Homo-oligomer: A and B are copies of this chain.
Amino acid sequence: MSDDDKSLVSRLRKLIGAGHYHPGERLGEEAVAEQFGVSRTPVRLAFRTLEQEGLLQRAGKRGFMVREFTQADVHCAVEVRGVLEGLAARRLAERGMPQDVAESLGFWIQKGRRLLDKGYLLEADINQWSDINSHFHGSIVGAADSRVVADAISRNNHLPFAAADSIIIDSEDLAREFKKLQLAQFHHELIFQSLKSGEGARAEMLMREHALIGLRYPELLADNP
């Protein structure tokens, strides 16, 4: 197998997220163990972790089943990320942003600006934006200086489509995606601005709105071409 180096949990996580297992499907320990060529022990350990992450749920007394994710679940996961990252942003604004964090955020904003300044989007730009985006969000969450908040966010990010860097990219319509990223970049700059001036409430609200960008804006941009 190609990814023998990755841990069992992340491999399973990826498979579940990719919809490789049907939602509601029961996962037998023996079956999975055989599928990955390991014994039952590591599978049992992994299942407990995946259960806590919310990807698996107990199927009565008969082991675990793949958690089913509705559209509403995705929506909620994004909103949860919104309020949590909003909390992180507010904390950062209220406690004052350290110089190095400001520099780091400025750096990623500059990078985003340069990426979008050319006025259009290339296929190859997607990955770069994903990188920029996760560094921006990661810097804020990290600078909020609270393991509890960071853990809550990271746990939520284990849910499919919930993570900030899991923006659905529609390679078919790069023009529309460009508009979306332009808006996201604008959000980033506004958030940066409010963080710098210690506007906690504004930073929080902006962050919460920013989280929704993948949910609500596509339809909006679709209607107004």
Contacts and interface: CB of A to CB of B under 8 A. Distances in A.
A175 interface: no
A34 interface: no
A80 interface: yes
Interface residues of A, number: 28
A148 interface: yes
A83 interface: yes
B152 A80 contact: yes
A76 interface: yes
A41 B48 CA distance: 13
Interface string A50-85: 011110000000000000000011001101100110
A118 interface: no
Contacts of A155: 52, 152, 155
Interface in A141-171: 146-149, 151-152, 155-156, 159
Contacts of A135: none
A49 interface: yes
A84 B83 CA distance: 7
Interface of A: 41, 44-45, 48-49, 51-54, 72-73, 76-77, 79-80, 83-84, 86-87, 146-149, 151-152, 155-156, 159
Q: Which 8 A-B pairs have the closest CB atoms?
A: A52-B52, A76-B148, A83-B83, A76-B146, A48-B48, A77-B148, A83-B87, A73-B148
23 contacts: A41-B41, A45-B45, A48-B49, A49-B51, A52-B52, A54-B148, A54-B151, A73-B148, A76-B148, A76-B149, A77-B148, A79-B87, A80-B84, A80-B87, A80-B148, A80-B149, A80-B152, A83-B84, A83-B87, A148-B159, A152-B152, A152-B156, A155-B155
